[in-house]
């Protein structure tokens, strides 16, 4: 099939490369000439394991191309995917759909034959209906059908999630649109991937409901962890005890400093606003948003308390800046809340992240020292904070950390280290939800 992907960001680039791997001819379009030039030169603008190799192989085999020319991009397209940004709209918390609507208008003017216009971006319910109005107004004579195909990609594991998904959701209002999307995903039918075919509005709701539920699950176990600390219970045993219940499941029951990233923060907020607009408030989601923001701020207070009530003139080493491992994404990362609060309290900050340093640098306080490796970050530090659970941090020697540091305070906000080992090395060790 001939497919066009509008937007060479995280979702568009991963989805386009994976669809090319399925055997389709894919053109990825973006308005940023520098980004397209980089991609044509084999340079990937984001960090995602396996993506550089996947893109290179499909470009080499002639199935994947990049362009800024919309007319060229859609000239043979059977389906055009909108994978543009839907950031939080400033001032009200709603998803900003201006990029989606602008892209739809441009596509409607450029296409020359029947096409299925598919939203890959995360959009609130009702967006498909508005897109239908837009394309009918611009091209009433042309069969442009609207569909929704939300993505469920985890950063750091996006290729695996696309190639071996839990399910594929397609929202359609016609047999033709359904047939096009099912043909597109035929390689997944062969491995018996469940396909959920719904109305467009239902598909839009599925995406928001899924993200909101996972965000609530994270926030729930974070609050349980706080109570565990008060009563002497171990949150990991609690999580295992409830996660083995098939009705609950084990995933997303890992306590930490709060969720971040490109999806959960903006999607929970937009979902809550949608409920308010329709007079059906999502009170659990609203509370989840509020509790998560408060938690990030509370982590700075926890660090200050562990340092004796003050971090003034103390050096704090921070390991991990991105919102999760195996990505360079800094969007709504806990570090963006915690580190400025520590700096405001007088701390001197040193930091190391395996992939996110260059993205983080302009977003964090100006005085942060960026280290070459974890031990360099820890050198001379009065306290060490682990914010992101990169695998390489798990193997750090407690004794070598102790030798590098000036102080003995460690705050493991992801519970990656063994408390007994850290205490035996001489640390005053603090973790989340463990006695």
279 assigned to a ligand binding site: no
- List, in sequence order, every residue forming a beta bridge with 29; answer none if it has no partner: 6, 67
Q: Which strands form 79-82's sheet, in the order they lie side by side? A: 64-67, 25-29, 2-6, 79-82, 115-119, 144-148, 168-172, 195-198
Of 18, 228, 263, 307, the catalytic one is 263
Percent helix, strand, coil in the chain, to 5, is 45, 15, 40
Give me 332's structure tokens. 């709504």
260 assigned to a ligand binding site: yes
C-alpha span between 179 and 1 (Å, rounded): 12
**Do 289 and 258 contact (CB within 8 A), yes or no?**
no
Planar angle of CA 67, 122, 204, nearest 5 degrees: 130
Contacts of 58 (CB under 8 A, 6+ apart): 17, 20, 21, 26, 64
232 assigned to a ligand binding site: no
- 283, with CB counted inside 10 A (0-12, 13-18, 19+), is exposed
Query: Residue for token digits 């003017």?
Result: 109
Q: Is 18 among the residues known to form the active site?
A: no
254 assigned to a ligand binding site: yes
166 assigned to a ligand binding site: no
- List, in sequence order, every residue forming a beta bridge with 119; answer none if it has no partner: 82, 148
Q: Phi and psi of 117, rounded to 5°?
A: -100, 115
Give me 83's structure tokens. 């994978």
Contacts of 126 (CB under 8 A, 6+ apart): 201, 204
35 assigned to a ligand binding site: yes
**Do 337 and 297 contact (CB within 8 A), yes or no?**
yes
266 assigned to a ligand binding site: yes
252 assigned to a ligand binding site: yes
Angle, in degrees to the nearest 10, between helices 200-231 and 235-243: 140
341 assigned to a ligand binding site: no
Give the sign of the dihedral formed by CA 12, CA 17, CA 22, CA 28: positive
363 assigned to a ligand binding site: no
C-alpha span between 387 and 389 (Å, rounded): 7
CA atoms within 13 A on the CB side of 327: 20
60 assigned to a ligand binding site: no
382 assigned to a ligand binding site: no
Residue numbering of the annotated binding site for NAD(+): 30, 35, 86, 122, 155, 266, 331
Q: Catalytic residue positions?
A: 263
Residue numbering of the annotated binding site: 30, 35, 86, 122, 152-155, 207, 252-256, 260, 266, 324, 331
Residue numbering of the annotated binding site for substrate: 152-155, 207, 252-256, 260, 324
């Amino acid at each position: 099939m001939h497919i066009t992907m509008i937007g060479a960001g995280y979702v568009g680039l991963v989805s386009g490369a994976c669809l090319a791997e399925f055997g389709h001819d894919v053109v990825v379009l973006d308005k940023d000439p520098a980004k397209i030039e980089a991609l044509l030169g084999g340079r990937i603008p984001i960090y995602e394991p396996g993506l550089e190799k996947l893109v290179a192989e499909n470009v080499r085999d002639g199935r994947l191309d990049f362009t800024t020319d919309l007319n060229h991009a859609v000239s043979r397209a059977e389906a055009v995917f909108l994978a543009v940004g839907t950031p939080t709209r400033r001032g009200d918390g709603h998803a900003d759909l201006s990029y989606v609507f602008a892209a739809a208008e441009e596509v409607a003017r450029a296409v020359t034959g029947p096409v299925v216009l598919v939203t890959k971006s995360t959009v609130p319910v009702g967006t498909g209906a508005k897109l239908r109005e837009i394309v009918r107004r611009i091209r009433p004579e042309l069969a442009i059908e609207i569909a929704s195909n939300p993505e469920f990609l985890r950063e750091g594991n996006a290729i695996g999630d696309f190639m071996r998904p839990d399910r594929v959701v397609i929202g359609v209002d016609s047999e033709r649109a359904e047939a096009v999307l099912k043909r597109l995903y035929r390689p997944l039918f062969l491995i018996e991937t469940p396909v959920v075919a719904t109305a467009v509005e239902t598909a839009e709701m599925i995406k928001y409901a899924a993200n909101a539920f996972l965000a609530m699950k994270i926030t729930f176990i974070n609050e349980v962890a706080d109570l565990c600390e008060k009563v002497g219970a171990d949150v990991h045993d609690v999580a295992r005890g409830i996660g083995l219940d098939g009705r609950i499941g084990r995933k997303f029951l890992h306590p930490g400093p709060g969720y971040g990233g490109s999806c959960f923060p903006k999607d929970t907020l937009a979902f809550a606003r949608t409920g308010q607009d329709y007079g059906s408030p999502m009170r659990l989601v609203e509370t989840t948003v509020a509790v998560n923001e408060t938690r990030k701020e509370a982590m700075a207070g926890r660090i200050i308390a562990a340092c004796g009530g003050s971090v003034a003139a103390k050096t704090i080493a921070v390991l991990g800046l991105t919102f999760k491992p195996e990505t360079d994404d800094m969007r709504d990362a806990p570090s963006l809340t915690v580190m400025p609060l520590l700096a405001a309290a007088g701390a001197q900050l040193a930091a190391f992240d395996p992939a996110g340093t260059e993205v983080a640098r302009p977003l964090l306080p100006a005085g942060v020292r960026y280290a070459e490796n974890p031990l360099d970050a820890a050198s001379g530090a009065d306290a060490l904070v682990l914010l992101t659970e990169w695998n390489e941090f798990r193997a750090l020697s407690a004794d070598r950390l102790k030798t590098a540091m000036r102080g003995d305070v460690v705050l493991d906000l992801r519970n990656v280290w063994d408390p007994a080992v850290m205490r035996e090395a001489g640390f005053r060790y603090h973790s989340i939800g463990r006695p």
